[in-house]
Structure 1
Amino acid sequence: MKEKKGSFSGSIGFVLAAAGSAVGVGNIWRFPYLCAKDGGGLFLLIYLVLVLTFGFVLLTTDVAIGRKTKKNALNAFAAICPKWKFLGYLTFLVPVLIMTYYSVIGGWITKYFVEYLVSGDNVPAQDGYFTSFITSKAAPIVFMLLFLALTAAVVYGGVEKGIEKVSSFIMPVLVVLIVAIAIFSLTLSAEGEDGTVRTGMQGLAIYLLPDFHGLTVKRFLEILLDAMSQLFFSLSVSMGIMVTYGSYVKDDVDLNKTTSQIEIFDTGVAFLAGMMILPAVYVFLGKEGMASGPSLIFISLPKVFSAMRGAGRIVAIAFFLMMGFAALTSCVSVMETLVANCMEVFHQTRKKMCGLIGVYSLVTAVLICLGYNVLYFELPLPNGSTGQLLDVMDYISNSFLMPFISLLTSILIGWVIGPDWIVGEVEKNGECFTREKLYRFMIKYVVPVVMLILFLTSTGLWNRIA
């Protein structure tokens, strides 16, 4: 028997749930290290422009498609245009791939939180701690199971009683924790190896002030691509999540207003995450530590917490609790997308589909965990990097499928059915679509071109063409 489709109770519930999906590991982990790597304030400026243009267009498109069709990603595109049904399958494939590894990362965060909670010292700051943990055969699987079980429990509760209720509690707490840690970071100071005193405010200046040193056209394009990649990662667009959440939005909700609120919430948290992490890293590890890349959270920050001495453990507990909340709301949105689509396709209850997707997530996540020991390999990727099993899944979903899906979606909306289809949905209740002209121009002319370049670059084809 087909289960009745759930819905958010109102605009606040939708905004908090959508923001919870958008505000994830990407904001708090990826955004700061990209910002440090790509010229501080220069990256911030470029990213802000992209959020107000590309982010706004892609987010509005996904949410409007979901609400107008009242279908999840797998069937929504077929409802728009039957010949474009394949786009729904491509979109569905993204969360299928992301779900294989997101709970693994959630397990890493859970491990650090538990370690700081029960240990009286700074064990995670020891050299080799992270590598030793992820390469062990049992521990990563155990903590992944804990995180996955919590994710499944929230999704099992449904839209209003599960996702909305949890997001309404978690998101305010997450923001309070981020603000508190950010303020604390700005008060820090320490003497460097050269005898000079480094302060949190100096670190903030490095974070905020644009660095144009050595900037070339090629370097600018690299920063632009990093910022666009972060946009996908952050706003949860082009992966079916916002289409699914949009299908739960009631017709009387003002889409123009709510999508703007999601943009502000997501970008604000990313900005605060940088202000929370980078000044503290600068104080204790210098500018080199700020640009430590993907190892920032699990290797560099524990050393920062250790250098804080007495307050370090408390800050670490608060930090990884906040990281856990961010990872949970994002993982919930990925799993909900899979469950909701399967409920629609197989006409089964939420309970059965939660069980099915739960088993899939468990099996694939175990394989990802084993990718650091039993199944370890290094595979060269088209973008010039090399990676293990987790990196391969991340590359296919984020660097290959997302820009490709955005390219196809912009062609479908901009040229096949026309922007009026989306504009009419946004203005459904007489609301003013404040950025209508920008939307029409972007979806037809700018998004297709930029997404094509991004896709060709991320797949390595651009270098061959150029």
Structure 2
Amino acid sequence: MATKSGGRFTGQLGFVLAAAGSAVGLGNIWRFPYLAAKDGGGLFLVIYLFLLVTFGFTMLAAELSIGRKTRQSPVKAYAIVRPGWGFLGVLTFLVPAIIMTYYSVIGGWILKYITVYLSGAGQAAADSKFFGAFITADSAPLIFNLIFLGLTALIVYKGVEKGIEKSSVFIMPVLLLVVVGISLFSLTLSHTDAGGVTRTGLQGLKVYLIPNLQGLTFSSFLQILLDAMMQLFFSMSIAMGIMITYGSYVRGQVNMNHSIAQIGLFDTGVSVLAGLMIIPAIFVYAGMEGMASGPGLMFVSLPKVFNAMGSIGVFIGLIFFLMAAFAALTSCVSVLETLTATCMEILGSSRKKTTLILTALYAVASTVICMGYNRFYVELPLPNGSKAQLLDLMDYISTGVLMPLVALLSAVLIGWLVKPRWVIEEMERNGERFGQKKIFAFMIRYLCPPIMVVLFVKATGLL
């Protein structure tokens, strides 16, 4: 049965690299390191890895199985799994629809930094005011956003095999090599500050890997758990409909058990290595104070680190932001592909026409988000007590509210209504052995729902 989006992955390698490309993105390169730095280094790492091999594996298996078994996009897939549950497909569709409004904006920021380092002006990027001046400018962020959106649209326009699979097979191995290279380089760094204190990359490695339990309370532990789970959602493309869409492109003979393990290994490896290449470098040149820079770690703190490296810093900075651009592009492609596949299925339109229409709509939407830092600047109070600009608001709604809700309802649907056997049968297609089926059944029924309830309540400020 062919997918209505009109394409299939040619085999297991193409599928794994495309799915890993969706999973490996800004969540790995940007979000994971700053959360690890904020949440006690090794403590965050341990919690994240535990959630990955339990919850992440469970939800990834469920979503890919739903996609391959129904051969439909998320909106229609859930209605096939269980009549009357089409609303869950609509909720799932809203997640990438909202994320797409701002993902290309951040991608545009990365492109700007690439041009800065290409021109040899890395010292300018090290100025603390550089990033703020750029995102509040009238035209520059809009132009870079549209360029990044255009690159994303071009890949989706070309289709599954010629666009998504072909680009992923090239980008992902290059990305992995760059991440490994910079990670090893970070461990060799050493710097003596004005006070005569020498810090090394290996000392930064200890900060990253050894759990910091100082001042840990139940509330702070719950926040770290929430951060790790939100990171897992964002990083693994869970509860976005993306893996259901990609699953619908997977051929029947592909071994799903092996594929899921490979996707998880690739995604986690890049996340851990991203922390390894960023946190030791930040520690060496900025100490523990630099570790507390939060979301600004990538765009404010790292350029200062590259500048402190001297002449080689310009080259390292360029390579880093090129790598970040590759990661952002593969993820943004997966988001737009999910939206495109769903709209093609519902409207019966062609891929090219659908891609062009969606690109035009998101050119307008992302422009509004860009202007949220200047002409449309607002500070909106969120239920969790924080304040948000337009981009922060979109991120909060998609990752903080909708993703936990979608994951909760999906776990209830698979675990209690259609029963875990529905997924297990798909995982054991062609006589494959699903060795983790007992763990899967236990997780999807008894652990995933209560965890999602707690995280949803915490994220919405009710706890």
Contact in 1 for aligned 2:5/2:341 (Cα 8 Å):
no
Contact in 1 for aligned 2:5/2:351 (Cα 8 Å):
no
Match of 1:14 in 2: 15
Match of 2:277 in 1: 276
Instruction: From the superposition, tell whether residues 121 and 92 of structure 1 become closer, same or farther in structure 2 (CA, over 3 Å).
Output: closer
State the alpha-carbon separation in 1 of the partners of residues 39 and 276 from structure 2.
Answer: 15
Letter in 2 for 1:71: Q
Q: Which moved more, 1:298-307 or 1:380-389?
A: 380-389
Match of 2:240 in 1: 239
Cα distance, 1:220 vs. partner? 1.7
Contact in 2 for aligned 1:72/1:341 (Cα 8 Å):
yes
State the alpha-carbon separation in 2 of the partners of residues 23 and 48 from structure 1.
Answer: 16
Match of 2:109 in 1: 108
Cα distance, 1:123 vs. partner? 1.1
- 1:96-245 to 2 correspondences below 5 Å: 96-245=97-246
SS at match of 1:326: helix
Cα distance, 1:363 vs. partner? 0.5
Letter in 2 for 1:200: G
Cα distance, 1:399 vs. partner? 0.2
Match of 1:419 in 2: 420
State the alpha-carbon separation in 2 of the partners of residues 213 and 395 from structure 1.
Answer: 28
Cα distance, 1:176 vs. partner? 0.6
**Which ranges in structure 2 are unaligned for 5 or more consecutive residues?**
none
State the alpha-carbon separation in 1 of the partners of residues 197 and 290 from structure 2.
Answer: 16
| Structure 1 position 350 matched with structure 2 position 351 | yes
State the alpha-carbon separation in 1 of the partners of residues 141 and 406 from structure 2.
Answer: 32
State the alpha-carbon separation in 1 of the partners of residues 366 and 122 from structure 2.
Answer: 30
State the alpha-carbon separation in 2 of the partners of residues 147 and 434 from structure 1.
Answer: 42
State the alpha-carbon separation in 2 of the partners of residues 287 and 142 from structure 1.
Answer: 36
SS at match of 1:82: coil
Instruction: From the superposition, tell whether residues 88 and 331 of structure 1 become closer, same or farther in structure 2 (CA, over 3 Å).
Output: same
Letter in 2 for 1:419: P
State the alpha-carbon separation in 1 of the partners of residues 223 and 290 from structure 2.
Answer: 21
- 1:25-424 to 2 correspondences below 5 Å: 25-424=26-425
Contact in 1 for aligned 2:109/2:141 (Cα 8 Å):
yes
1:200-223 Cα offsets, whole Å, 9 max, x none, are 111011101111212222222221
1:99-153 Cα offsets, whole Å, 9 max, x none, are 0000000000000011110234421111210000000110000001110110000
- Give 4+ residue runs of structure 1 displaced > 4 Å after superposition: none
Taking every aligned residue pair, what percent have the same amino acid on both sides? 57
State the alpha-carbon separation in 1 of the partners of residues 269 and 122 from structure 2.
Answer: 33
Contact in 2 for aligned 1:110/1:324 (Cα 8 Å):
yes
Cα distance, 1:57 vs. partner? 0.6
Instruction: From the superposition, tell whether residues 102 and 451 of structure 1 become closer, same or farther in structure 2 (CA, over 3 Å).
Output: same
State the aligned residue count. Answer: 461
Letter in 2 for 1:284: Y
1:390-448 Cα offsets, whole Å, 9 max, x none, are 01111100000000000000000011111000000000111111211110000001000
Letter in 1 for 2:400: S
Letter in 2 for 1:32: P
- With the length of structure 1 as denominator, give the TM-score of the two structures: 0.98
Contact in 2 for aligned 1:3/1:348 (Cα 8 Å):
no
1:5-33 Cα offsets, whole Å, 9 max, x none, are 20001111111000000000011111111
Contact in 2 for aligned 1:130/1:299 (Cα 8 Å):
yes
SS at match of 2:429: coil
Contact in 1 for aligned 2:126/2:307 (Cα 8 Å):
yes
State the alpha-carbon separation in 1 of the partners of residues 235 and 5 from structure 2.
Answer: 30
Contact in 1 for aligned 2:98/2:394 (Cα 8 Å):
yes
Compute the RMSD of aligned alpha carbons: 1.0
**Which ranges in structure 1 are unaligned for 5 or more consecutive residues?**
none
